[in-house]
Amino acid sequence: MAEPTDGFDDFLPQALRFRAAAPLVDIGANLTHESFARDLPAVLARARAANVTTLILTGTDREHAEQAVAMARRHADAGLALYATAGVHPHDASRWDAGLAAAMADLHRQPEVVAVGECGLDFNRNFSTPAEQERAFEAQLGLSAQSGKPLFLHERDAGRRMREMLHAWRDDIGDAVVHCFTADRDTLFGYLDLDLHVGLTGWLCDERRGHHLRELVDEIPLNRLMVETDCPYLLPRNLPAKLKGRRHEPALLPWIVREIAHWRGIDEAELAAATTRTARAFFRLPMADPHPPATRHEDS
């Protein structure tokens, strides 16, 4: 049963309006995706109504990272705390060059940017060659070491190589989160041995392919676990009502927390509070609830 809630508009069916028991941080929201261009203010208002009070906007290439920073500034008065990441996704690694590296270093100096990434390795699709991916990733490990900002990592079918590269850099980089973790037990323990953080999405809510994750969720220490929608992708399959357009959004994060809490056998409110504490420490955000100033930026 969804809790009674105020502040939602009519877009979400009644059954999907669910306010988290404690404020949540969505550590992976691709709100610069074109599917949000139409109704972004409403998406942000629904996130707020669902008690998802902090959003980390994923920057997957230069263009999207710059958009994410601008979005965080422009909507600083939306009653949410908005931050961005800036990196080059392994799919786009073939575009890495000195100019891009300089642009990234510039972005990492912006106060809105709280992590280097999304970066990493994806040997599942190889849209860029493995060699190109390793080169771009290596460079971004260097940018993280340089800026002192934590890493927001993407890895698919490349767990072993990812661990080798992170191991080589471990003393130079700080915190790092493997976002949208979907791999197996050995990979998870390898990451935890490297003292990494883990981001979980609605993948776990998928009874067809999320099974193995359900048995792993209680192996992740609460001070290493964070939650994310990875919206508009990965709409959870445990939702009690159909959603028009099937676009995932931050307001649905409480459903993912509910699923994780269930499989972990702990109270939802406790899990919500713990993941928020972990995320605020990881991204070095203020530990209190966000109360952003009404008009911090007047641009565009």
Minimum Å distance from CB 10 to Zn ion? 31
Contacts of 252 (CB under 8 A, 6+ apart): 16, 18, 50, 202, 229, 231, 235, 236, 239
Between 8 and 152, CB nearer to Zn ion: 152
Q: Are 62 and 84 in contact (CB under 8 A)?
A: no
Our measurement of the distance from residue 217's CA atom to the centroid of its chain's CA atoms, rounded to an integer in Å, reads 17
- Residues in contact with Zn ion by CB under 5 A are 154
Q: Which residues of 262-294 are buried (b: 16+ CB within 10 A; e: fewer)?
A: bbbeeebeebbbbbbbbbbebbebeeeebeeee
Between 154 and 197, CB nearer to Zn ion: 154
Work out the end-to-end distance of the chain between its first and last CA atoms, rounded to an integer number of angstroms: 41
**What angle (nearest 5°) sits at the alpha carbon of residue 42, between those of residues 277 and 20?**
30
Between 49 and 253, CB nearer to Zn ion: 253
CB atoms within 10 A of CB 23: 18
Minimum Å distance from CB 162 to Zn ion? 12
Minimum Å distance from CB 96 to Zn ion? 17
Minimum Å distance from CB 260 to Zn ion? 18
Q: Which residues pair with 57 in a beta bridge?
A: 29, 84
* Rounded CA separation 19/6 (Å): 9
Between 190 and 199, CB nearer to Zn ion: 199
* Rounded CA separation 48/142 (Å): 35
Between 14 and 124, CB nearer to Zn ion: 124
Minimum Å distance from CB 205 to Zn ion? 17
